[in-house]
Amino acid sequence: MSFSRFIRRSFITTLGMGLFVYALAGPAAFAGQHGMKKGNMDVIDTAVAAGSFSTLVTAIKAAGLVETLKGDGPFTVFAPTDDAFKKIPEDQLAALLEDKAALTKVLTYHVVPGKVMAADVIKLDSAATVEGQSIKISSSDGVKVDNANVVKTDIAASNGVIHVIDTVIMPN
């Protein structure tokens, strides 16, 4: 079975068909039918609702970080898309998903404590991550975080904000 098929199967199985439908239908449709308001979704629910972060959500579950990222925060998450994860060779990604300590280190490197909106990000040249190291930020030619391009900004969540990136960034 290919790794992408494994991820899809794991995503559907782990999150259940209800959340899969939620991801396809979008947050507004689901929220309206179930008493949730879009602004009340945390960073995890917001990522699931977007539909392009299934690998990230699977990795967060594998690392045991769901409850943390559903917590009060606030968090700024530089969220790699499914396409960003596809840039990692399948065998390396599979190994990373099996190594909880390494996976946790990579995922927490994508999280900055506090709610840092795009207008504030572009004023920075670095930011300390939850992992402990700092990410390099450049806005001279578009906004970059380490070697990743920021492709969408300011996706609000009840406990923080998500900025979408096109590459998985790796700590030293």
pLDDT at residue 85, as a whole number: 97
Query: What is the tens place of the pLDDT at every residue in 19-35?
Result: 332 333 333 333 333 33
Looking up tokens 């507004």 gives: 28
Phi, psi of 106 (to 5 degrees): -65, -45
* Residue 147 · residue 141 · CB < 8 Å: no
Asked if residue 151 has pLDDT above 60, the reply is: yes
Whichever domain contains 90, its CATH number is 2.30.180.10
β-pair partners for 142: 140
User: Would you say residue 171 lies in a domain?
Assistant: no
pLDDT exceeds 50 at position 113:
yes
Q: What is the span of the domain harbouring residue 76? A: 3-165
Confidence check: pLDDT of 14 > 80: no
Query: Which pLDDT does position 121 carry in this prediction?
Result: 94
User: Model confidence at 40, in pLDDT bands (50, 70, 90)?
Assistant: confident
d(CA 79, CA 37): 22
114 domain residue, yes or no: yes
Structurally, how many domains does the chain consist of? Answer: 1
pLDDT band, very low/low/confident/very high, at 43 (cuts 50, 70, 90): very high
Say if 14 falls within a structural domain: yes
Is 130 within 8 Å of 108 (Cβ atoms)? yes
Rounded distance, CA 2 to CA 4, Å?
5
pTM above 0.75, yes or no: yes
Question: Three-class SS of residue 109?
Answer: coil
First-to-last alpha carbon distance for the chain, in angstroms, is: 31
Report the interhelical angle of 3-25 vs 90-98 (nearest 10°): 80
Helix H or strand E encompassing 167: none
Is the distance from CB of 136 to CB of 145 less than 8 angstroms? yes
70 touches 44 (CB < 8 A): yes
Tens-place pLDDT, residues 52-95: 999 999 999 999 999 999 999 999 999 999 999 999 999 999 99
